[in-house]
Amino acid sequence: MNIPEQIGNYTLDREIGSGGSGQVWLAHHAKLPDRLVAVKLLMAHDRDAIRRFHREAVIAARLRHPNIVQFYDYGYTQPFYYAMIEYIAGSSLRHLVEKQGRLHLDETLAIFRQIAAALDYAHSLGIVHRDVAPGNIMVEQGTGRALLTDFGIARENGQSITITNTIMGTPGFFSPEHFQGLRAVTHVSDLFSLGVVLYHMLSGQMPWDESPGMPNNPGFSPPAPLRQRGVDNLPSDVDRVLLTMLAIDPTHRFPSARAAVDELDRIFSRHQMTTQILVAPAPTPPPAPVDFQSSGVIANDVETILGPNLARAPIDRAHRRAADLRNPTMIISLLDAWAAQQRFGLRRKLLGRLARLQKITSSNVYFYRLRLLYEQRRLVEDDEEPDHSAQPFALTPEIDRWKMDNLPPVTDFVEHAGERVILPGSTRVVSCTPCDGRGSTPCPHCNGTQRVFVIRPVTFPVGVGATTSATPVASGTDSGTPSANGRVRNSTATAPSTSAQVAPRTERVLVPCPACAGRGGITCTRCEGVGRLVQRKAFRWSRHTEIVEGHDDRPALREHWLHRVCKAEVIYQERQPSGFRPEWSMIDTLAPIIAHAQELSNADTRIVLSEVTVSFIPVTDVVFDLGKPGDSGLYKLTIYGFENMIPADWRFLNWERVIATCLVLFFAIIAIILAWVVFS
């Protein structure tokens, strides 16, 4: 296809680049030879390519930033659509890294800062680039200016997406959201790609041995530490920044590119200078100038260990707050406002102006909440029942009680009263021991003889006129010998009475055993007459929750007051089935909480789900003196939270006014008492 020699007032000189659907030509103004531009020609003619080319022109025309390639014009000349953009005398970052390998640290940070600024500017306009890669970053020769280009697949907020289930961008620099569909790609997806670019500049290599998202490596994983790439001259905290930018969960990344830049600046400033010396403003009356130390947020285990998994927005707010409070003017203003809040003017006025600042230190007070779900599986007990059905049982191996997986799944912190369950593989059929498998046992009443003796009453009618005296039986008569009918007569007989009375008598009679109905045996109560038992092993299980809380050890921390007046920001909440994550125990304050939780575990009780929630409140300690002659003491006040709250402190009362107020109240009470006495 023939390329025109001229488009508008510009003459095309030579091709300087090409892509999948277009070419880039260097051109100069026909009347102004020194006026150079780059002309992009769309070589494809399909509808989607034309739509994207037009969208790039519309978006690029809105952008005015020194680190974004400037857009000049857009149009159509048979048979090409074209766009005229700023010509950059240099090369792409991709060619730069290919040529010299990893870049020098200063050059890397300079390019990173500039592209970060360009992205934040585009994001502020609701524009997501979606293809941040070295090939779309130009570095101007001589000046080192870095510029972001190629908004061909960029998207504006509210713009409809006509192509779905399509991955667009540069392989290796995709974010995980790119594989979820175009709608999932947001401004933090650009930050992920920018993190890959930063890693690429620092090491000359990619963060992974195999690019994630490809068929041979579909999943994303944390990047390899820079030391594994031969970069051993950087602080280890740089890896933490990269882990945060390349976090798989978008909410765990920095909220903006500027936040990542600020974090890198803090890291390198800590390694170059530990404190900053400032001159305090001269209060009235002006004392001698006092140098004081100020610092940002003190490094802590939470940010160091959990950094990539933290919600970055509150953390960055805390760092910005610390930076603001390093300004002596702001501290003075806060102290003055606090002193003026007291009713009746009982605090010392203009405390901020009187204070001579010595040191300002900011830190975060972290609060930890460990939520636990314990499951108890008691010792195995025997469970049995009569083998009435005589059904066959599957032959399966017996398993340990803790290897059973058919209990209700653990999905949340839900308590369960539990129940008794059978251990799989423990079923067996055995002969009933009490009846020896016969199904019946000897009757305990007759001992299997089928008969028993019973004593029962008998009555004899006495005829009228008989003598009433008893006739004794001759001695030696055997009273215990039964008669032919099995009866045993009583050994004592009375003479018939003359009256019509009935005299009671008893007899001992051999009868069938009523307990076994004369059979001599009864049905075995254990096997219910079957003679066999089905035995199983069973145990009882249950679940219950526990919550253990703690916070960083800080002297004179009024926790209840602090939570009442300041909001704690939640920055971390992660769950772990069956135990704890290793990094949790690396945090000094959290380690004893976890150790306490583990003490409650034993052979019968285990932790089946745990969750750690970390929140924090930023604090700033201000050390100062009041510049009074003879007063060499130092005072410390603490400013709490994003609300900048200061607790009451009696040391800064205006004692003259306090004493005067007390005297007035005292005399007023005396006057009231006297008046009551006089007029009552």
List, for residues 483-536, the tens digit of each pLDDT value: 444 454 444 444 455 455 556 788 888 889 988 888 889 999 889 989 999 998
pLDDT of residue 633: 72
When mean pLDDT is compared over 151-155, 425-429, 630-634, the highest value belongs to 425-429
The answer to the question of residue 675 being in a domain is: yes
Clarify whether residues 130 and 236 are in a common domain. yes
Structure tokens at 108: 């890397």
Both 255 and 226 in a single domain? yes
Residue 153 falls inside a structural domain:
yes
Q: What is the mean pLDDT of the chain?
A: 83
Question: Greater confidence, 631 or 434?
Answer: 434
pLDDT of residue 158: 53
pTM summary value = 0.59
CATH number at residue 166: 1.10.510.10
The residue from 52, 87, 122 where one domain ends is 87
Distance CA 177, CA 644 (A): 38
Specify whether 215 is located in the same domain as 157. Answer: yes
For residues 108 and 225, membership in a common domain is answered with: yes
User: Domain boundary residue among 256, 273, 290?
Assistant: 273
Number of structural domains found in the chain? 3
Whether the per-residue pLDDT at 547 is higher than 70: the answer is: yes
Q: Which of 34, 120, 131, 291 is catalytic?
A: 131
Based on the domain organization, do 261 and 145 belong to the same domain?
Answer: yes
480: in domain: no
Specify whether 115 is located in the same domain as 199.
yes
Highest-pLDDT range among 28-32, 44-48, 448-452, 605-609: 605-609
Residue 135 carries which side chain, given as an amino acid letter? G
For this structure, is 383 an active site residue? no
| Cα–Cα dist 249/243, whole Å | 11
**Within-domain flag for 300:** no
- pLDDT tier, 656 (very low <50, low <70, confident <90, very high otherwise): low
Domain co-membership, 95 together with 238:
yes
pLDDT tens figures, 96-155: 999 989 999 999 999 999 999 999 999 988 899 988 999 999 999 989 999 999 887 777
Residue 237 has pLDDT above 70, yes or no: yes
pLDDT-based confidence at 657, cuts 50/70/90?
low
**Which of the four pLDDT bands, split at 50, 70 and 90, describes residue 77?**
confident
Provide the domain limits for residue 78. 6-87
And the tokens for 180? 């979820």
CATH for 66: 3.30.200.20
Helix (H) or strand (E) holding 323: helix 312-324
146 and 244 co-located in one domain: yes
CA gap 146, 139 in Å, rounded: 4
| Of 69, 87, 105, the domain-final residue | 87
Q: Which of 133, 113, 120, 131 is nearest to 200 (CA)?
A: 133
Spatial distance between the Cα atoms of 311 and 568, rounded to a whole number of angstroms: 13
C-alpha distance from residue 631 to each of 147, 624, 626, 634 (Å): 58, 12, 8, 9
Percent of the chain with pLDDT over 70: 83
- Do 83 and 95 belong together in one domain? no
Predicted confidence at residue 554, as pLDDT, reads: 84
Rounded-to-integer distance, Cα 120 and Cα 241, Å = 18
- Burial class from Cβ neighbours inside 10 Å (0-12, 13-18, 19+) for residue 46 reads exposed
Q: Is there a domain that residue 10 lies in?
A: yes
State the average pLDDT over residues 424-437. 89
Asked whether the predicted pLDDT for residue 677 surpasses 60, the reply is yes
For residue 128, give both structure tokens.
């997501």
Average pLDDT over residues 435-456: 89
- Given a cut of 60, whether residue 602 has pLDDT beyond it is yes
Q: Mean of the pLDDT values across residues 9-38?
A: 87
Are residue 162 and residue 246 in the same domain, yes or no? yes
Say whether both 63 and 112 belong to one domain: no
Tell me if 456 is assigned to some domain.
Answer: no
Contacts of 248 (CB under 8 A, 6+ apart): 176, 220
**Residues 259 and 112 placed together within one structural domain of the fold:** yes
Share of the chain above pLDDT 90, in %: 33
The pLDDT value recorded for residue 631 is 52
Residue 228 is assigned to a structural domain of this protein = yes
Element (H, E) at 190: helix 187-203
Q: What is the pLDDT of residues 367-422, one digit of tens each?
A: 999 999 999 999 888 888 998 888 888 888 888 889 888 889 999 999 999 888 88
Query: Whose structure tokens read 């403003």?
Result: 281
User: Does residue 358 lie within any of the structural domains?
Assistant: no
Q: CA 294 to CA 358: how far, in whole Å?
A: 9
